[in-house]
Amino acid sequence: MNRRSVKIMRRKAGGTAGKNAEKYSLNLPAGWLHTMGLSKEDRVELSFDGEKITIQPLASTDPEVFRRNAEQKDHRLKEYRYYDGDVLCTVILADFTAQQVCVENKIDDVLDTAFGVNETPSWEDFLAFLADRCIPKTRKGLDYYLDAVGVPEYDPVQLVEKTQGRMAEDHKWLEII
């Protein structure tokens, strides 16, 4: 692991920020960004877990670029096709290695798409979507149900693979490729 000590730079925030608002920034080594395949035109995703900040490339919103990038890196990629009856509503590419998703809506009605108006869902949004297509974790008799479908523990990914995300309340389902 390559490590560097860098200085945190502080300046006054502009725009509509408050009178005493400040903004902080860091300079990152160009070689690191180059190794990550990033240039000054690219955007990144920052995440903070309460102790450390993680920087990772923002997943491409172009499905073919997303697929090509994941395959070039030999990532575990799955394609989920979300249907309403026989109508393909959304194609979801899920990179399980990078924990990123790319979504392509195939219809205009956001009420029938997998993520509604959210066109750039996070990994957590994807996992929540899968959980919504499963039996609730709090359901009485859950162990009996898990045993019946052949899943050893409550895992929305495995459950959706077994059940195609079919629910009694609607005609929506998932084809997993």
pLDDT score for 2: 87
Q: How large is the average pLDDT for residues 35-46?
A: 79
Q: Given pLDDT bands bounded at 50, 70 and 90, which one contains residue 165? A: very high
Residue 133, pLDDT above cutoff 80: yes
CATH 2.10.260 domain position(s) in the chain: 9-57
- Tell me the per-residue pLDDT of 42-54, one tens digit each, with 9 for 90 and over: 778 888 899 999 8
The pLDDT of residue 129: 98
Reduced 3-state DSSP string for the chain: CCCCCCCCEEEECCCCCCCCCEEEECCCCHHHHHHCCCCCCCCEEEEECCCCEEEEECCCCCHHHHHHHHHHCCCCEEEEEEEECCEEEEEEEEECCCCEEEEEECCCCHHHCCCCCCCCCCHHHHHHHHHHCCCCCCCCCHHHHHHHHCCCCCCHHHHHHHHCCCCCCCCEEEEEC
CATH match of 9-57 with 2.10.260? yes
Task: Using the structure block, give the residue that is written with the tokens 């300046």.
Answer: 11
State residue 177's pLDDT score.
94
Cα 128–chain centre separation:
10
Average pLDDT over residues 108-114: 96
